[in-house]
Chain A
Amino acid sequence: MPKTPLWDLPELPKNELPLHLQLQKTRVFCNNDAPTHTENIHYSGAYAAMGVDNSLRLDEFRKNFKVKIIKLNEEDMEFDLIGIDASIANAFRRILISEVPTMAIEKVLVANSSSVVQDEVLAHRLGLIPIIVDPRLFDYMSENDIPNEKNSIVFKLHVKNKRGSGERRTVFSHDLQWLPFGSEYALPTENPSDPNSNTKPKTYTSYTFSQDTLPEFSSNPITVTPGIIISKLGPGQEIELEAHACKGLGKTHAKWSPVATAWYRMLPEVILLQDIEDEDAEELVKKCPVNVFDIEDMGKGRKWATVARPRACTLCRECIREPGWEEKVALRRVKDHFIFTIESTGALPPEVLFTEAVKILEDKCERLITEMS
């Protein structure tokens, strides 16, 4: 952008910034060497000298804020958050990764494991298997809590490869069986010699009723994501264990993170600073690996390049790599337009995850307000 002295600028209406400042405020400039103007200007008086008020106005935010869902299925979703500050979009992302609770296997009681996979490793692998259940139906389990039907899920895994079968047996995550009644393993009692003192031996969990009597689970039993390889068994090897899941946060361990990943990117904006015609246009179209540019026929055998799909730009900077091209093409990012992607692990559908994240942020804000007042 050519530099113009301030006094040469045309008179501007109040409440509007000069064009280049406006650009700098709203766009990230992705130059060849480094991105510039990446930061957001929050200070309300940042442009006071020009008579522009930079404070955030709620009604304006309400007016401008938009959410556009681009893609949505069971596992992932892509949507646009328009008119929001990066800090808030980032807060959603951070909360999604680490603060939306899920259920994950935390304790593994190994009765027998003769596979080559070591017990700790096996437990670690089991922990990372996503459990398809709504975590909102469960309570957190604190250290002194006794596991019950409200705060834990129990799975059983008992796989055996018969001796002499001659082949390996793969243990999959779908071999895990849900035990709605809780653990089947009896706690080691103080005096095992006394069998008739208690009618029912105490187990590792104390369920008062079966989980499958709950309306949420009666029709759809709790399962885990199928098809994940847990271990392999040689002939004669056996795994027998119980896995106890509880509710937790991704902060504590990544296994409780409800998303495989959640991220956003700012909306790409590709601007042709000059008219790019004929050979240059073809060259430009050829440069882009994701076909951002198109060629438009101007008639009379002349062609020029247009930006057809700026959203597809991956910022490979190929179009401005060669010297001279930076003056022709400008790559920018819109600072308040976020293309947000959530890849769920399966516990909750992605759209629910996002609303959960919003709720958590809301809670946090409320807590802050109450703490401060």
Chain B
Amino acid sequence: MVMGVMEGSDALHPSQGMREVDKQFLAAPVKSAVDKFQLVPEFIKVRGLVKEHLDSFNYFITTDIKKIVEANNFVRCTFDDKVYLRYLKVSVGKPSVVKDGITDEMNPQQCRLGEMTYSAPICVDIEYCNGSYGHIVHPQVKKGVVIGRMPIMLRSSHCVLFGKDEEELAKLGECPLDPGGYFVVKGNEKVILIQEQLSKNRIIIDKDKKGCIQASIMSSTSMTKAKTTLVMEKEKIYLNLNSFTSKVPIMVVMKAMGMETDQEVVQMLGRDPQYAALLLPSMEDCSNLGIYTRKQALAFLDKKHRKWNNSNNSNNRKDDGGALGVLRDIFIATIQVKDDDFHRKCAYVVVMLRRMMDAYLNKDALDDKDYIGNKRLELSGTLMALLFEDLFKTMNTGLVAYSDNLLNKSSRSTKFDISQHISREDITNGLERSLSTGNWNLARFKMDKKGATQIVSRLSFIAAYGYMTKISPQFEKSRKVSGPRALQPSQWGMLCPCDTPEGEQCGLVKNLSLMTHVTTDEEEGPIITLCTNLGVEDLSLLSGEELHSPSSYLIMLNGSILGKHRRPQLFATSMRKLRRAGKISDFVSVHVNEKQRCVYIASDGGRVCRPLVIADNGVSRIKHHHMKELKDGIRNFDSFLREGLIEYLDVNEENNTLIALYEGEATSDTTHIEIEPFTILGVCAGLIPFPHHNQSPRNTYQCAMGKQAMGNIAYNQLCRMDTLIYLLVYPQRPLLTTRTIELVGYDKLGAGQNATVAVMSYSGYDIEDAIVMNKSSLDRGFGRCIVMKRHTAVYQKYANTSEQFSTPSRAPHDRERNQLLDNDGLASPGEIIRHQDLYFQKLVPENANISVNAHPSNIKYRPSRQTYKGAEGEAAVVDRVALCSDKRNNLSVKFMIRHTRRPEVGDKFSSRHGQKGVCGTIVQQEDFPFSERGICPDLIMNPHGFPSRMTVGKMIELLGSKAGVSCGRFHFGSAFGEPSGHADKVEDISATLVKHGFCYNGKDFLYSGITGTPLQAYIFMGPIYYQKLKHMVMDKMHARGMGPRQLITRQPTEGRSKNGGLRVGEMERDCLIAYGASNLIYERLMISSDPFEVQVCRKCGLLGYENHKTKAKVCSTCKNGDNISSMKLPYACKLLFQEIQSMNIVPKLTLADS
């Protein structure tokens, strides 16, 4: 945090408005800390928790889409260039559904249930001309032409849910606590994961595999996307570019760009002879090649120019102009070259060179690729924009091709009208396909991304949130480096330090923190003008010498050089002031880098930033009266922003600040104050009480487990038809809450129960983290859960007919079997359904491909049934039956089948501190220990769970909850919350306990329920919030005797779902061999698996056969049955012989007498 430059000048020149505040400060006797917590809920209120997704999508749908269409707005036929089409305007409408030609409004819940896509029409206004045929024809204009349908992100500005209050949302069947930020595609909720990427258009200095210093830049413009790398190999500097077949000496490139003299380059590099000396080998290299002029250089490069064999590409690059074209359009494409003026590009290359040399001279100057400031997060809007652009272009080329084709035909019956041929399927299907498969395969942008979208799993409310904040990594998970996985200091407050998965993805998949915001693209034009006004000298006005003159700083805007400024601090301060005053966007970051003597201004999208309170000389700008106004509702978060009390800082700008955690800790150098420290954690980690007292990996485990906890999913959970829903019957809100819990709404949609836990050993069934449960608690509903599974049945449509409803027979012998079914052949809701019960019956035409003109009454039907497959002996209930049309427009019936389960031995439970355990045994209440007050614990946990896990937070949770139930107030345990009062202190909790007659340390005097005498220790007992995890014995338990076999090998099938056998694997086999239990091996591997009797010819050693009728045994090779013996063999072995034979290898069996 403590880095960089002081903003002395800012503090010295307070603006007019500031002076007033300062006076007030002077009047105050001491700096008093203002409780700024209220800002967090306010922030969440104006922003929601997934604002980054919504903002990004909104930006795309309102701004970016227009830019894309504008950039490709003209379509002209190649056949007749009078025929053209021009897009004038584009807009996205309201989500709607077109059914039978009628457009209806639609809402997301309808889409979820009806397997539809929640999308809105993309309308364009077009101007077109259908060709002249020699006459002069005026162009026609058509308005509101639909070119496709855009899937709409829930809660975005175009969503019907936008700006709706709780009641209106409830009317639409939507959960008000649902954050939105995802799409509904064909009934599935899909979220586009945030993609992590290295910054585009920024110079990154690092080392390659060989340890050579390299400067790379990923330049990406709307036209091209190319990586440029300068590499310093054996003191010589080369350029690596994909368009060149091999690396190119940099001086050749400079010469090709018109810097023919070495002096010019050295001059630009700066006066310091060190740099010139470093460039010397490269210059020698160039002269050794005999290249002195631009012409020679270009000729040299032309030879190296990679010719694209691909005809497609060569078509596109008809006028690429050889090496010069490459240098102009691909090499550092961000710097656009106008009229062959390569001056800017040369300057840029020199800046790159200089930074490389700096890195060579001083290793500290290397950039850190894992630094968050060097990263950009690509959100749904960006990805959708890319996809849309690609599809839009495809559509236009398709339109051209189609029109050409039509116009080419000699005889046309109808008048040609280009506006009729805009295909709306291309875009609709393309968007839908990419969203539902997650494959972003865009040849045009050299992009092939898989798994960009995921289904929002509604396992629990928190799990759904987890998907919205998840950041998928840029690196392959196979990479063995530790750097990208490590915790980065710069991710403080931006990315959650706890929430990352375990295993191979550890540290690569990250999650956003509570207050993180991700920027969207910002218009550069006004910023450039502003910079010029603030005294930035434009690059073109500078001589080469001045580029690196020590008296001034370079000004970089989004990676490109803007110019130079002589008073960088003043410039930065004024920029910041303008930003605080709202003259430029809140998210523009200004960052002075003294080492590189640069001022970086960034307005590009994808930077992570977070709000901070501004402080002047260490005094917070937020005063008590501000917070009071906030409480009274006069202010909101935005007004704090508007008035310059709060600002957003990105990671780079944080380097110029000194941020105090609390106001009391601020010194006169402090420039900013944190709003609340617990906001460094994300949503999942925010549920943990007292996480700052836990060993760090425990918090990480809980982040993963919180997503598996059963509880409430959403307010509309009983109206959803998901494939699998886990619900808790009696979910509770935690007794020990955190501020995050309140902000997120976990207290309304909890996933767990407050169990009274006694930490003691009991019965021996509690080893290895197992817990002992009280049977009476289970009887009374503790841990009871509902599992709902969806079963689907479809009425298929055929050419002439379709499958029909069927009335089940009520004849006496059918009655029992059909008792669940209603008269329409569907099981009725509320019926108890058991294994093998019939729940669906329909009539299927006996002959599906019956001729089209057959009379309907002639079609014969037969009934087809579906039976329920559940655990044997378990009674489930048909919860709901819904009829809707599915993706293929067939009538489909969905059955939700519900099963209520009480906990049993083996079910998994976990507290909120990464302490999972299975239920080891269930014990009668009278055997349980009881306290002096008659309290009997709900579960007993073994104390051995504590020493090695070091989850002190769990102990404090117990104390806090115990104090909470005794005094009737919810206690708090927000992360790092003790100083600011968002977490109760242990001392206070203890005092409360004592006041209510408990021991200060939470240990109670317990009596044994078995002997009736007191236990010989005081037992740590109190309520802890326990989560029931989705892993239940009932879903996993499996055993079989006889059962199904595989078709080809005749061995038992594998896996529980196929009722498979349990495998005696290699190691088990080894054990049996070692033990000498040969008969057991024989029995396991042969008799109980795939025994088969074969006939073997003793003479030729091949397999024969037994004639089934005559019982004669024949060897088909020897053509007789003289030497046949029969023996037993695993069928798989016989199969192997035959397969080998089919490859022309003869396996022979040599039999010996036994």
Which residues from chain A sit less than 8 Å from chain B, CB to CB? 28, 30, 34-36, 38-40, 86-87, 89-91, 93-94, 97-98, 110, 113, 116, 118-121, 124, 128, 250-251, 253-255, 257, 261-266, 289-290, 314-318, 321, 333, 335, 341, 343
Pairwise interchain contact A94-B1000, C-beta atoms closer than 8 A: no
A sample of 20 cross-chain residue pairs with beta-carbon separation below 8 angstroms, ordered by A number, consists of A38-B1015, A90-B1007, A97-B926, A98-B924, A120-B877, A120-B900, A121-B729, A121-B786, A124-B729, A254-B775, A255-B779, A257-B776, A263-B933, A265-B1007, A289-B997, A290-B997, A314-B932, A314-B997, A314-B998, A316-B999
Cβ contacts under 8 Å, A90 to chain B: 1007, 1009-1012
Q: How far is the CA of A341 from the CA of B1005 in the complex (A)?
A: 17
A120–B877 alpha-carbon span in the complex (Å): 9
Chain B 986-1007: CB-based contact to A (< 8 A → 1; otherwise 0): 0000000111111110000101
Residue of A119, A120, A254, A264 near B780 (CB, 8 A) is A254
Docked CA distance A201–B994 (Å): 65
Contacts of B779 in A (CB 8 A): 253-255
How many angstroms between the C-alpha atoms of A28 and B1008 in the bound complex? 14
**Cβ distance A79 to chain B, nearest Cβ, rounded Å:** 14
Q: In whole angstroms, how far apart are the Cα atoms of A317 and B1017 in the complex?
A: 13
Nearest-Cβ distance from residue A65 to partner chain B, whole angstroms: 16
B773 nearest CB across to chain A (Å): 13
Instruction: Tell whether, in the assembled complex, residue B1014 and residue A333 are in contact, meaning their CB atoms are under 8 Å apart.
Output: yes
Whether the pair A86, B994 counts as a contact (CB closer than 8 A) is no
How close is B196's CB to chain A, nearest CB, in angstroms? 42
Other-chain contact of A34, B784, B994, B996, B1016 (Cβ < 8 Å): B1016
- Over the window 758-782 of chain B, the binary record of Cβ atoms lying under 8 Å from chain A Cβ atoms (1 yes, 0 no) is 0000000000000000011001110
B residues within 8 A CB of A253?
779
Q: Is the CB of B1018 within 8 A of A35?
A: yes
Residues of B within 8 A of A255 (CB): 779
Q: Are B924 and A316 in contact (CB under 8 A)?
A: no
Nearest residue, chain A, Cβ from B786: A118
Contact residues of B between 897 and 945, Cβ < 8 Å to A: 898, 900, 924-926, 930, 932-934, 936
- 8 Å CB contact of B997 from A266, A316, A333: A316
- The one of B781, B898, B996 that contacts A124, using a Cβ cutoff of 8 Å: B781
Q: Is B1147 an interface residue (CB 8 A)?
A: no
On whether the beta carbons of A36 and B1016 are closer than 8 Å, the reply is: yes
Given contacts A87-B1011, A254-B775, A261-B936, contact A35 B1017 (CB under 8 A): yes
Q: B924 near A251 (CB under 8 angstroms)?
A: yes
Q: How far is the CA of A177 from the CA of B1007 in the complex (A)?
A: 41
Known: A87-B1011, A120-B877. A318 touches B776 (CB 8 A): no
Q: Which of B459-482 contact A (CB under 8 A)?
A: none
B781 touches A316 (CB 8 A): no
Contacting residues, chain B, for A333 (C-beta < 8 A): 1014
A35/B1014 contact (C-beta < 8 A), A120-B877, A120-B900, A251-B924 known: yes
Q: For the complex, what is the distance from the CA of A120 to the CA of B897, rounded to whole Å?
A: 13
Contact A316 B1011, beta carbon cutoff 8 Å: no
Chain A residues with CB under 8 A of B669: none
Rounded to whole angstroms, the CA-CA distance of A145 and B801 in the bound complex is 54
The CA-CA distance from A250 to B786 in the complex, in Å, is 25
Kindly supply a per-residue 1/0 record for chain B positions 1012-1028, scoring 1 wherever the CB is within 8 Å of any chain A CB and 0 otherwise: 11111110000000000
A289-B996 contact given A251-B924, A263-B930, CB 8 Å threshold: yes
- Bound CA span A39–B934, Å: 20
- Residue contact B1015 to A289, C-beta cutoff 8 Å: no
Partner of A94 from the list B776, B1009, B1018 (CB cut-off 8 Å) is B1009
Given A261-B936, A289-B997, A316-B999, also A38-B1013 (CB < 8 A): yes
Residues of B within 8 Å of A289, CB to CB, are 994-997
* Residues of chain A contacted by B967 (CB below 8 angstroms): none
Q: Shortest distance in angstroms between A191's beta carbon and chain B's nearest beta carbon?
A: 9
Flag whether B879 is at the interface (Cβ < 8 A). yes
Q: How far is the CB of B178 from chain A (nearest CB, A)?
A: 19
For residue B730, give the distance in angstroms from its CB to the closest CB of chain A: 9
For the complex, is B718 an interface residue (Cβ under 8 Å from A)?
A: yes
> Which residues in A have their C-beta under 8 angstroms from that of B281?
none
Q: Please name all residues of chain A whose beta carbon is closer than 8 Å to the beta carbon of B776 when the two chains form the complex.
A: 97, 250, 254, 257
**Docked pose: A120 CA to B875 CA in angstroms:** 10
Min CB–CB distance B714 → chain A (angstroms): 14
Q: How far is the CA of A293 from the CA of B933 in the complex (A)?
A: 21
Which residues of chain B are within 8 angstroms of A38 by Cβ–Cβ distance? Answer: 1013-1016
Flag if B930 contacts A118 (CB, 8 Å).
no
Please, how many angstroms separate the alpha-carbon atoms of A333 and B924 in the complex?
27
Per the bound structure, the CA–CA distance linking A290 and B768 in Å amounts to 40
In contact, B934 and A263 (Cβ under 8 angstroms): yes
Interface assignment of B451: CB less than 8 Å from any CB of chain A:
no
Closest-CB distance, B306 to chain A (whole angstroms): 67
Interchain CB contact under 8 A, A118 and B879? yes
Binary interface profile of B, 195-237, with partner A (CB < 8 Å = 1, else 0)? Answer: 0000000000000000000000000000000000000000000
Could you tell me the distance between the alpha carbons of A262 and B406 in the complex, rounded to whole angstroms?
91
Contact of A116 among B718, B775, B996, B1017 (CB under 8 A): B718
